[in-house]
């Protein structure tokens, strides 16, 4: 244990590094970057809502105190890109610098949802949160957010602008998944990791590739969307099972759009379906519901859309960078409402922009 905790890229070293980052700030879109005026100016242009004028004084304090900033998933990316946090801790409160190489050490630039899907694609162990094993350094996931298991029921997470890097109890935080990060060495492990459980009820449409044999809530959402667009499912309807009838409807939809025609529902088909539903919603929405004529553009990666103005609400779907939707309103807590799938959905201010 002592040897591993001193060895970069082991799970023990990673979580020890996270522990030492407690108290450092949360800056959206950063990956263990030194707080500097140039970084603030760049991120303010890139994400104006997340770097609103009301927050600037706090950001200036972080710069003056020479802190190191990250967002939730940016913490593990920054750890990898700095060679296992080399030089990061030593730079806090000083003028010391360190090297960060984008995309290095087997860590891609993914959002919270994208990193989970990437880990699955690499064959890493994962499971629903009820099967969380006592292995430190595991990544924790809920829609749009990531944390890291510190052991004994606690996690380290870059929780948000008002909190920064904090230690929290796993229970009650709404985590839905745990998984092993592909660029972290978890060793042989003395704990028997539970087999991944396929919790189909909690999948949102767009979370995974759907094909014949799949079933779950996301299949229901797909079937309901196809029916809304006029594709028929005469025998079984929206039964949550991806059978021959659903496959045929997906293939018919694909033939009407410039995507691969294979009867499987992947990322291309998801983007096309969201666009088709958005177009239909544009036609159906009356003027009073979008009085300003404004649109919302998605600025994050795999952004969760909730059925209320907060992460505690039910996930409707996920949307990708650059997608646009009719803007409805902004809640007091900053979440934006938009029209998606013919209904009102909500996205976090950090992941969207009003045009």
CA distances from 257 to 154, 205, 250, 268, 298 (A): 47, 19, 11, 10, 22
**What confidence category does residue 14 fall into, taking pLDDT thresholds of 50, 70 and 90?**
very high
Q: What is the average pLDDT across 143-149?
A: 90
Q: What is the average pLDDT across 35-58?
A: 93
Burial of 80 per CB tally in 10 Å (0-12, 13-18, 19+): buried
Least confident of 162-166, 176-180, 312-316: 312-316
Which CATH number does the domain housing residue 340 bear? 2.30.30.40
Question: Which candidate, 314, 308, 316, places its Cα nearest to that of 348?
Answer: 308
Residue 89 is predicted with a pLDDT of 97
d(C-alpha 279, C-alpha 154), whole Å: 44
Shared domain for 267 and 297, answered yes or no, is no
The tokens of 324 are what? 């646009």
Shared domain for 324 and 303, answered yes or no, is yes
Task: Answer whether residue 190 is part of any domain.
Answer: no
| Of residues 204 and 294, more confidently modeled | 294
Residue 272, pLDDT > 80, answer yes
| Of residues 313 and 298, more confidently modeled | 298
d(C-alpha 71, C-alpha 330), whole Å: 23
Name the domain boundary from 144, 179, 214. Answer: 179
Confirm if 167 and 147 have CB atoms less than 8 A apart: no
| Of residues 199 and 308, more confidently modeled | 308
Strands (E), the chain: 31-34, 68-70, 126-128, 139-142, 145-151, 154-158, 165-169, 177-179, 295-298, 303-306, 315-319, 324-330, 336-340, 343-347, 352-354
Residue 290, pLDDT > 70, answer no
Percent of the chain with pLDDT over 70: 90
Task: Answer whether residue 173 is part of any domain.
Answer: yes
Q: What is the average pLDDT across 232-243?
A: 86
Residue 39 is predicted with a pLDDT of 97
Q: What is the chain's mean pLDDT, rounded?
A: 86
Shared domain for 152 and 218, answered yes or no, is no
- Total tally of structural domains belonging to the chain: 3
Task: Answer whether residue 170 is part of any domain.
Answer: yes
Task: Answer whether residue 187 is part of any domain.
Answer: no
Name the domain boundary from 234, 268, 284. Answer: 284
**What confidence category does residue 181 fall into, taking pLDDT thresholds of 50, 70 and 90?**
very high
Q: What is the average pLDDT across 25-40?
A: 96
Matching residue, tokens 């529902």: 265
Q: What is the average pLDDT across 124-144?
A: 90
Name the domain boundary from 232, 260, 284. Answer: 284
Residue 287 is predicted with a pLDDT of 36
Least confident of 35-49, 239-253, 260-274: 260-274
Residue 191 is predicted with a pLDDT of 45
3-state secondary structure (DSSP) of residue 272: helix
| Of residues 299 and 244, more confidently modeled | 244
Cβ-proximal residues to 131 (8 Å cutoff; 6+ apart), any chain:
178, 194, 197
Shared domain for 272 and 298, answered yes or no, is no
Which CATH number does the domain housing residue 231 bear? 1.10.101.10
Question: Which candidate, 254, 225, 179, 200, places its Cα nearest to that of 342?
Answer: 225
Residue 288 is predicted with a pLDDT of 36
Shared domain for 345 and 323, answered yes or no, is yes
Task: Answer whether residue 189 is part of any domain.
Answer: no
Question: Which candidate, 293, 286, 251, 289, places its Cα nearest to that of 272?
Answer: 251
| Of residues 67 and 176, more confidently modeled | 67
Shared domain for 160 and 216, answered yes or no, is no
Task: Answer whether residue 110 is part of any domain.
Answer: yes
Confirm if 347 and 305 have CB atoms less than 8 A apart: yes
Confirm if 242 and 251 have CB atoms less than 8 A apart: no
Shared domain for 114 and 246, answered yes or no, is no
Residue 346 is predicted with a pLDDT of 84
Shared domain for 136 and 53, answered yes or no, is yes
Confirm if 58 and 35 have CB atoms less than 8 A apart: no
Least confident of 67-71, 154-158, 176-180, 191-195: 191-195
Shared domain for 252 and 294, answered yes or no, is no
Q: What is the average pLDDT across 94-109?
A: 96
Task: Answer whether residue 291 is part of any domain.
Answer: yes
Shared domain for 14 and 93, answered yes or no, is yes
**What confidence category does residue 200 fall into, taking pLDDT thresholds of 50, 70 and 90?**
low
Expressed as residue numbers, the domain containing 46 is: 2-179
Q: Backbone phi, then psi, for 26, in 5-degree steps?
A: -100, 115
Pairing of strands 177-179, 315-319: unpaired
Shared domain for 347 and 248, answered yes or no, is no
Q: Backbone phi, then psi, for 53, in 5-degree steps?
A: -55, -35
Shared domain for 98 and 53, answered yes or no, is yes
């Amino acid at each position: 244990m002592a040897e591993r905790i001193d060895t970069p890229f082991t799970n023990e070293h990673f979580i020890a590094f996270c522990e030492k980052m407690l108290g450092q700030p949360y800056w959206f879109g950063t990956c263990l970057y030194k707080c500097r005026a140039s970084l603030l100016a760049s991120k303010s242009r890139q994400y104006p809502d997340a770097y609103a004028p009301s927050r600037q004084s706090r950001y200036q304090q972080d710069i003056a105190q020479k802190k190191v900033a990250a967002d939730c998933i940016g913490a593990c990316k920054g750890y990898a890109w700095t060679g296992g946090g080399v030089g990061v801790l030593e730079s806090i409160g000083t003028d010391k610098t360190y090297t960060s190489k984008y995309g290095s050490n087997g860590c891609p630039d993914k959002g919270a949802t994208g990193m989970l899907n990437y880990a699955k694609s690499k064959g890493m162990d994962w499971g629903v949160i009820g099967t969380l094993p006592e292995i430190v350094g595991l990544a924790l996931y809920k829609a749009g957010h990531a944390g890291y298991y510190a052991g004994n029921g606690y996690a380290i997470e870059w929780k948000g602008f008002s909190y920064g890097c904090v230690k929290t109890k796993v229970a009650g935080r709404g985590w839905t998944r745990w998984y092993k990060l592909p660029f972290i060495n978890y060793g042989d492990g003395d704990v028997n990791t539970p087999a991944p459980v396929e919790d189909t009820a909690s999948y949102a449409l767009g979370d995974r590739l759907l094909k014949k044999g799949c079933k779950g809530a996301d299949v229901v959402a797909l079937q309901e969307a196809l029916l809304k667009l006029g594709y028929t499912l005469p025998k079984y309807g929206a039964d949550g099972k991806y059978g021959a009838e659903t496959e045929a409807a997906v293939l018919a939809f694909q033939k009407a759009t410039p995507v691969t025609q294979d009867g499987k529902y992947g990322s291309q088909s998801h983007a096309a379906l969201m666009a088709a539903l958005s177009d239909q919603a544009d036609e159906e929405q009356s003027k009073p519901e979008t009085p300003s004529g404004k649109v919302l553009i998605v600025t994050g990666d795999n952004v969760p859309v909730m059925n209320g103005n907060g992460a505690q609400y039910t996930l409707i779907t996920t949307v990708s960078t650059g997608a646009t939707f009719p803007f409805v309103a902004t809640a007091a807590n900053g979440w934006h409402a938009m029209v998606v799938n013919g209904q009102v959905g909500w996205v976090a201010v950090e992941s969207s922009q009003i045009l």
